[in-house]
Structure 1
């Protein structure tokens, strides 16, 4: 079938993206689903820094590539071997499929699935296949097994989570990345306990979800930190106890004084090595620093090694919020329905596919939290 998709031909385009137009809307040929694959009509897709990091070259990927990974849609066709979905089901996409057999999957850590990591880096589905092509036969690479900036996609069955049809698509889409990554980093990776103090550094869509996650986990104090005062104001509106602009002189010392030596856990979601160093500095002796930010692979962090030992610090990564999507999506959607996880407040704007470059310029400029592309029927 023929589809429309936003394709990145080269990485590292100059800004503003609204002028340079790094993403081109193309008509592509989409193959039918293979074994254990599903055809999904995309209804809503979120613009995320993980997409932006491919555009600007911070996360190099093979091109040409159809971007997008955070989405919601409707099942339109089933490949052989798919028996637990039916036509018309509403689903969200998850950007790490899982084989179910490698060591991480066997340990209950599907976010670290080894075949999925290999496929995502190569720009294929987990089967190793490409399902999108130009008319001349040129294969278009898949972004994280999804390529959601398209009106239809073919994905692995394990890239999908079924959701209730009453959940609006523009809200449902957020649960595939921003919510899983941000809330999961707090609940799963950091394992926050009631009453603990938490700092979140970097208040994009994922970081603000971490703020919400810390609140729902019962943190005694949630400190939100960013360079943008408008994001600090939103964090305060969402329930953050304190907010700080990290550019202010003495910010680290102020936070440590406020928290009697540092926070129990600092969560870095800015995707910056400087932000991670800041997070480590505001963590108390014996505390935990978690990072879910994805900086350029060449970037390195300088920390005092002896502090890890003498202060019994923990420094750990969090990918997809250390989530088990088939378990956690339902939990987080339930919290959303109860009003305890108001992720809808993070939605900055809805866009048409033709506005995608303008949307990424707004994201790069720090003028948007979460923008969602809506697709017509």
Structure 2
């Protein structure tokens, strides 16, 4: 019988989800040994994302027990023999989609849709102390002191980019800004509507501003987010209530917006933003909804309105090729990432951070898994 301490030699603390809807427990797990093409990373900062909430509450399927967390920046502590372009001590952004660079999407300009990009979420990467397999939520497992991932799941971070900023670039900012710049291709002097102002929605606002939109309408049920929306680039804030549709139409010449973004991920909000898109405009679904939450369209409206409906995965961004542009935006002050951070904590604060997201409060809690002595 093989020795589990040889196959899984690295003991680390992690917040482990054992049952859907149950609190996570901070416990010791053992990470698998680093393979030839792998890298072991110490997690320095990790954001708590709405996708983590969707995994924790069962909206998205995930084998259990699992370590969630996927929006992170860390430091390389070990590399496999075949990894020659990263050194121990290098800072890296962790990616929740790892392009294989060989499948049809990867070879046709869509590595964010890689056929194998998320497969590792269903493959054990660690064990509990009693030997139970543990899975990495969204392939990363960053609600832990360390993780092990393939080299292709990492983007090096320049010395002048802050660690917390780099963590947010790994998911919320890349997805939101990319939704505007890469998925929708927002045009100059256009009108934009963004519904749902979490970390992704606020990042869509920043992407719309970077793209040169002139009317940028932000909608959220929490009116406390108006200041955050305006700081991100919104020209108008509209509360999500019975007056929303009328208010948005009055701000967009009665036609609806050129580009609309649903950052909630429900059939109701998708229908709402679709109906607030001008004839011939573009609707982008960024939020992740449930598989049983069906959206209905009539055959006539699809013909008559001639709108484009797009899904958005990871902002349609090729992180390896496109991240340098994001770094430049951060350096130039064009992206304000600190404004997205509304809380800090350690591994023991994961459940509280998820509860805040579920209640529509705050934007991003950034955790430091390795507690400073």
Q: Is the 8 A contact 1:95 1:146 kept in 2?
A: yes
- Report if aligned partners of 1:201, 1:207 keep a CA contact under 8 Å in 2: yes
Contact preservation (8 Å) 2:161, 2:331: no
* TM-score, reference length from structure 2: 0.94
Distance 1:288 1:227, change over 3 A: same
Preserved CA contact (<8 Å) 2:119 2:139: no
1:278-289 equivalent positions in 2, closer than 5 A: 278-289=272-283
Q: Verify: 1:158 aligned to 2:152, yes or no.
A: yes
Contact in 2 for aligned 1:47/1:360 (Cα 8 Å): yes
What is the 5 A alignment of 1:203-214? 203-214=197-208
How many residues end up aligned between the 2 structures? 361
The 5 Å alignment of 1:173-192 reads 173-192=167-186
Q: Tell me whether 1:107 sits opposite 2:101 in the alignment.
A: no
Q: Which moved more, 1:164-173 or 1:149-158?
A: 164-173
Maintained 8 Å contact 1:307/1:313: no
Task: Give matches, 1:121-136, under 5 Å.
Answer: 122=122, 124=123, 130-136=124-130
Pick the aligned partner of 2:15 from 6, 11, 33.
Answer: 6
Contact 1:38 1:154 in 2 (8 A): yes
Q: Is the partner of 1:333 in helix, strand or coil?
A: helix
**1:19-38 → structure 2 map (5 Å cutoff):** 22-38=23-39
1:376 and 2:358 are equivalent in the alignment: no
Preserved contact between residue 260 and residue 283 of structure 2 (Cα < 8 Å)? yes
Q: Which residue of 2 aligns with 1:256?
A: 249
Q: What are the equivalent positions in structure 2 for 1:1-377 lying under 5 Å apart?
A: 1-13=10-22, 22-120=23-121, 122=122, 124=123, 130-249=124-243, 251-260=244-253, 261-374=255-368, 375-376=370-371
The question of whether the paired residues in 2 share the 8 Å contact of 1:145 and 1:159 is answered with no
Deviation at 1:35, TM superposition (A): 2.7
- Residue pair 1:3, 1:29 contacting (<8 A) in 2 also: yes
Whole-angstrom CA distance in 2 between matches of 1:228 and 1:64: 33
Report the counterpart of residue 17 of structure 1 in structure 2. Answer: none
What is the TM-score when the length of structure 1 is the normalising length? 0.93
- 1:257, distance to aligned residue in structure 2 (A): 3.1
Q: 2: distance between equivalents of 1:371 and 1:358?
A: 9
| Moved >4 Å (runs of 4+) | none
Distance across 2 between alignment mates of 1:173 and 1:88: 16
**C-alpha offsets along residues 239-288 of structure 1, whole Å, 9 cap, x if unaligned?**
31111112133x21332232120110101101222111111011000000
Contact 2:228–2:339, Cα closer than 8 Å, also in 1: no
Q: Provide the aligned C-alpha RMSD in A.
A: 1.3
Q: Determine the C-alpha separation between the residues in 1 that align with 2:61 and 2:21.
A: 9
Kept in 2: contact 1:185–1:322 (CA 8 A): yes
CA contact (8 A) 2:198 2:363 kept: yes
Measured after TM superposition, the shift of residue 357 of structure 1 is 1.5
In structure 2, do the counterparts of structure 1 residues 61 and 131 end up closer, same or farther at CA, with 3 Å as the change threshold? Answer: closer
